[in-house]
Every structure is written in C-alpha cells, then in structure tokens.
A and B are shown apart, each in its own frame.
Chain A
Amino acid sequence: GENVEQHPSTLSVQEGDSAVIKCTYSDSASNYFPWYKQELGKGPQLIIDIRSNVGEKKDQRIAVTLNKTAKHFSLHITETQPEDSAVYFCAAFNQAGTALIFGKGTTLSVSS
C-alpha cells in the first residue's frame, strides 16, 4: 500500500529564516499531495496542496514543489514567524483516491 515518509521530525529555526520539510511517497499512481498544519488542541488545517500536473505552487510565504519522477514533494516556508510554530503533515491519496496517507509529522519551532 501507499507509504509516506517525512523528514525531519523536528525543525528549529530563527524568526525570518526559511524552513523546508521533505516527503517521499511510494505509490506512483498518487496525484494529489496536500500539506496540513496542526496546532495544539486543533484538527489539521489544509495550508496548500499540489496536483501531479504541476511542479510548483506558491501561496504568499508558503510553496510546495513536486518531483513525480523521484516521488518527492517538499514544503517551503519563507520568512518564518513565531505563529508558524506547529506540527506539519504531508499526505498523499491512496490508489483508490479515498484515503489520505499521512507522514509522521514535523514539529516546527520558530524562535524570536
């Protein structure tokens, strides 16, 4: 079945620095890759997503890149702020398109 691996598990940066989180997936049929941000006591919030016919997508300080050949996708956050501190999850749909398979999460800490 589909497997999603996410690195690093923890990431500490200074305010204003960039942060990069990387994921790999196993099922070459996957074609939709969302990223979620989860704050303490809340559910995952969709922050950006990308489909397989696109190599890169940007939304203000957040960007996602996808390399279908290598089965890699990455989240880039520029000019980090303390409110970016949270757990970030990458995910990919299973082959049936019914279930999201999540990575294990990256805890991002932004210190001011």
Chain B
Amino acid sequence: ETGVTQSPTHLIKTRGQQVTLRCSSQSGHNTVSWYQQALGQGPQFIFQYYREEENGRGNFPPRFSGLQFPNYSSELNVNALELDDSALYLCASSLVGGNSPLHFGNGTRLTVT
C-alpha cells in the first residue's frame, strides 16, 4: 500500500510570487484534503476535493485554490504569496463519506521571504 506523497519537501518563495504544491493520494483513496500547519499549531483545514470538485472549504482566501486529477492526485496553488503563508502544507487522503480516517503525507515546508 503506497502512502500519501508530497512534493517538493521544502520551498522558498518571495512575497507576491505564486506556488504549486503536489500530492499523490494513498492507493484506493478518492478524496484529498489540504491543511496548513503554522509552527507550534495544529493543522487548519484549507479545502477538500472529491470527484475533481471542491467539496468543502475552510477560512482561507480565494488566492488559495486547488485541483484534483482523475487519478486522485492533487495540487494546491497559492497566488500573491504573503509572509504569513509560511507554514507546513499537509495533504491528506481518505475515502469519500463523512468521518472517514484521514492519512497525511509528510508535508511541504513553504518559506516566504
């Protein structure tokens, strides 16, 4: 069973730039969720994708957007980067349906300077 994989592991960007983070789901999982984890905090929900459509969104501005592909892999795009966007971005996969266990990747550490 292949777990959730994310790329890249680390990234440094400049304020105002755009970034794309990638995620491959655990085999057999059809739902992908993205979370932002600031240093010393718990993960915060950004959004979830199922059947290539957004299926729920947290309190994040529209410059955070995503995609899910037919093979269930996913991208997180962030435009107009701000210093506060510096965080660990986590991808989690699960089966569709409320309250299914989420399995996380090791994340992408984004630093915005």
Q: Which of A81-112 contact B (CB under 8 A)?
A: 89, 91, 93-94, 96-105
B45-A104 in contact (CB<8A): no
* Residues on the B chain within 8 Å of A96, using CB: 56, 98
Query: Is B97 among interface residues, defined by CB-CB distance under 8 A?
Result: yes
Interface residues of chain B: helix, strand, loop or mixed (majority): loop
Cβ contact within 8 Å between B102 and A46 = yes
A101 to chain B: which residues have CB within 8 Å? 45
Chain B residues, Cβ within 8 Å of A45: 104
Q: Which residue of B lies closest to A36 (CB)?
A: B104
Q: B83 CB to closest chain A CB, in angstroms? A: 22
Residues on the A chain within 8 Å of B98, using CB = 32, 93, 96-98
Q: In the bound complex, how far is the Cα of B90 from the Cα of A96, in angstroms?
A: 20
Total CB contacts across the A-B interface at under 8 A: 63
Q: Are A44 and B90 in contact (CB under 8 A)?
A: yes
Contact B105 A51 (CB under 8 A): no
Partner of A43, one of B40, B97, B101, B107: B107
Given A89-B42, A101-B45: A43 and B90 interface contact (C-beta under 8 Å): yes
- Is B45 within 8 A of A32, CB to CB? no
Q: Say if the beta carbon of A31 comes within 8 Å of chain B.
A: yes
For residue B78, give the distance in angstroms from its CB to the closest CB of chain A.
19
Interface size in chain A (residues, C-beta < 8 A): 27
B99 interfacial by beta-carbon distance below 8 Å: yes
Find the residue from B41, B43, B99, B103 having the highest chain A CB count within 10 A.
B99
Given contacts A34-B102, A45-B104, A97-B99, whether A104 and B56 have CB atoms under 8 Å apart is no
Contacts A44-B104, A105-B42 known; A99 to B99 CB distance under 8 Å?
no
B97–A46 CB distance below 8 A = no
Any A CB within 8 A of the CB of B8:
no
A and B contact pairs by CB, cutoff 8 A, 19 listed? A31-B99, A34-B101, A42-B106, A43-B107, A45-B104, A89-B43, A91-B42, A93-B99, A97-B99, A98-B33, A99-B33, A99-B48, A99-B56, A99-B58, A100-B43, A100-B45, A102-B42, A102-B44, A105-B40
**Cβ-closest 5 pairs across A and B:** A97-B98, A102-B42, A98-B56, A32-B99, A99-B45
